[in-house]
Copies of this chain bind each other. A is one copy, B any other.
Amino acid sequence: MAQKPAIPKGTRDFSPSEMSRRNYIFNTIREVFSLFGFKCIETPSMENLSTLMGKYGEEGDKLLFKILNSGDWVSALNDVDLESHSLGALTSKVSEKGLRYDLTVPFARFVVQHRNEIQFPFKRYQIQPVWRADRPQKGRYREFYQCDADVVGSDSLYNEVELLQMIDMVFSRLRINIVIKLNNRKVLAGIAEILGVPDQIVDITVAIDKIDKIGMEGVVAELKEKNIPAEAIEKLKPILAIDGTIAERLTTLRELLANSEIGCKGLDELEFIVNQTNRLGLTAKLELDVSLARGLNYYTGAIIEVKAADVAIGSISGGGRYDNLTGVFGMPGVSGVGISFGADRIYDVLNALNLYPDATEEGTEVLFLNLGDAEATCSLKIIKQLRDAGVSAEIYPDGAKMKKQMTYANDTKVRYVAIVGSSEMETRSVTVKDMSTGDQEGVSFDNVVNYFTQK
* Partner-B contacts on A (CB < 8 A): 2-8, 11-16, 19-20, 22-23, 34-37, 39-48, 50-51, 62-63, 65-68, 70-74, 77-78, 82-83, 87, 90-91, 94-97, 99, 109-110, 112-114, 117, 119, 121, 123-124, 129, 131, 133, 142-143, 151, 154-156, 158-159, 161-162, 165, 169, 276, 279-281, 327-331, 363-364, 367, 370, 376-377, 380-381, 384, 387, 390-399, 407-408, 411-412
Contacts and interface: CB of A to CB of B under 8 A. Distances in A.
Contact of A82 (B65, B77, B99, B407): B77
A44 B12 contact: yes
Contacts of A162: 394-395, 397
Contacts of A11: 44-46
Nearest to A67: B65
B121 A408 contact: yes
B411 A7 contact: no
B158 A43 contact: no
Contacts of A381: 279-280
B35 A393 contact: yes
A276 B380 contact: yes
17 contacts: A3-B328, A4-B329, A5-B51, A5-B113, A7-B46, A8-B97, A16-B39, A34-B392, A35-B391, A36-B393, A37-B364, A66-B67, A73-B87, A74-B82, A74-B90, A94-B94, A281-B384
B39 A154 contact: no
A41 B19 contact: yes
Nearest to A155: B398
A390 B15 contact: no
Contacts of A67: 65-68, 99
Contact of A19 (B42, B99, B142, B169): B42
B156 A35 contact: no
A20 B40 CA distance: 8
Contacts of A35: 387, 390-393
Nearest to A22: B42
Nearest to A367: B37
Given A47-B8, A387-B35, A398-B121, A158 B380 contact: yes
